[in-house]
Amino acid sequence: MKKILSTLSSALVLFAVLFSFNTIAKSAEYFSIGTGGPTGVYFQVGNAICKMVAKIQSKEHGRKKGTDKAYRCSAPSTGGSTYNIGQIMEGELQFGVAQSDWQYHAYNGTKPDKVKPYNKLRAVFSAHPEPFQIIAGKGSGINSWSDLKGKKVNIGNPGSGQRGTFEVLMENHGVNKSFFGSTSELTSSEQSGALCDGKIDAFGYTVGIPNSGVAQAADGCGSYIVDLQTGPVKKMVSDNDYYAWATIPAGTYKTTTKDVKTFGVMATVVTSADVPDELVYAVTRAVFENLEDFRDDHPSFFALDPKKMIKDGLSAPLHPGAIKYYKEAGVM
């Protein structure tokens, strides 16, 4: 009899453990945020969001009182802006970080050769400003856009915002790849090392400041940022709301001895109209209710302002889940 009771007891314990595990497994919802290269600020944005999502979770199934589900977040390194938008369209990612110009082009279908039109794209919030920077190697003799002629230039990997923006710059200056001595398609994590090793003379990079990759090139081997105020750039800024003038202050890097003027975009967080309102609401709430912690995650985030985050650089409609939180929080 004791053996039977012991067996029954063991079975009940096993059932309880399995039931509990199954309940937890069913209550957890996994989602992914597309970022960028591991040395870029997009990677920091995605992982900061995941930290904030984790912060609002409690010990009970990993959720805090007041939330309906336990969310599990990952923010893998990806190819960047246009790649992220494409993967959101395919349902492989639920969120992504993207430059404001590529958010605009994807939603409006204005550059189908560079990013697939996607009218279900929805905005969640904008993060930090991103100056487009041309970083030139020490001794390269590059001090302007025209000096890039005949040089070895990295234009960025396909699928990245920096590649798309570099190609837009080429179009507006009336040149193609033959303008340069040679072009490469290195990722953001590869380009600084290549510049310091003399394999390239310059690279273009759309990124928040300060950035560890740019610091590697500037502080490590004397590379510097080139002023970019050509006539075509002035026209780009005046004709397009998603571009704005940007200044990289003196002292940002060792070789930045004076302010550098260039143009830039906003880093934005986007999703799809097909992503449930509940999930977008939870992610938005996690960030905005822990904004001080979010700001502390990277110097680029120090000036984040909730009122600006819900409108600056956003051309796609806001997702209803985000709107719900903004109205509840009184920022909209």
* Statement to judge: residues 96 and 170 lie in one domain: no
Residue 39 has a pLDDT of 87
* Statement to judge: residues 166 and 65 lie in one domain: no
Which of the four pLDDT bands, split at 50, 70 and 90, describes residue 92?
very high
* Statement to judge: residues 190 and 212 lie in one domain: yes
Chosen domain end from 237, 265, 293: 265
Is the confidence at residue 9, as pLDDT, over 80? no
Please, which residues have CB within 8 angstroms of residue 42's CB and are 6 or more apart in sequence? 35, 36, 80, 97, 267
Average pLDDT value for residue range 107-115: 94
Domain, as residue range, for 137: 131-265
Q: How far apart are CA 198 and CA 11, in angstroms?
A: 67
DSSP string spanning 36-105? --TTSHHHHHHHHHHHHHHHT--SSTT--TT-SSEEEEE----S-HHHHHHHHHTTS-SEEEEEHHHHHH
Work out the percent of the chain whose per-residue pLDDT is above 90: 82
Average pLDDT value for residue range 233-255: 93
Is the confidence at residue 80, as pLDDT, over 60? yes
* Statement to judge: residues 186 and 255 lie in one domain: yes
Looking at 55-64, 127-136, 177-186, 296-305, which range is the least confident one?
Answer: 55-64
Is the confidence at residue 22, as pLDDT, over 70? no
Q: How far apart are CA 247 and CA 294, in angstroms?
A: 23
pTM for this prediction:
0.82
**Per-residue model confidence as pLDDT tens digits over 187-217:** 999 999 999 999 999 999 999 999 999 999 9
Residue 68 has a pLDDT of 59
Structure tokens at 249: 């202050």
CATH number at residue 166: 3.40.190.10
3-state secondary structure of 195: helix
Residue 303 has a pLDDT of 87
196 inside domain: yes
Is the confidence at residue 14, as pLDDT, over 60? no
* Statement to judge: residues 157 and 255 lie in one domain: yes
* Statement to judge: residues 184 and 307 lie in one domain: no
Single-letter code of the amino acid located at 120: K
φ and ψ of 128, to 5 deg: -100, 160
Is the confidence at residue 25, as pLDDT, over 70? no
What is the enclosing helix (H) or strand (E) of 139? Answer: none
**Per-residue model confidence as pLDDT tens digits over 269-282:** 999 999 999 999 99
Average pLDDT value for residue range 158-174: 94
Residue 119 has a pLDDT of 97
3-state secondary structure of 149: coil
* Statement to judge: residues 73 and 157 lie in one domain: no
Is the confidence at residue 11, as pLDDT, over 60? no
Neighbours of 301 (CB within 10 A): 20
Is the confidence at residue 58, as pLDDT, over 70? no
What is the enclosing helix (H) or strand (E) of 307? Answer: helix 306-309
* Statement to judge: residues 233 and 261 lie in one domain: yes
Task: Count structural domains, the chain.
Answer: 2
Residue 70 has a pLDDT of 84
* Statement to judge: residues 248 and 210 lie in one domain: yes
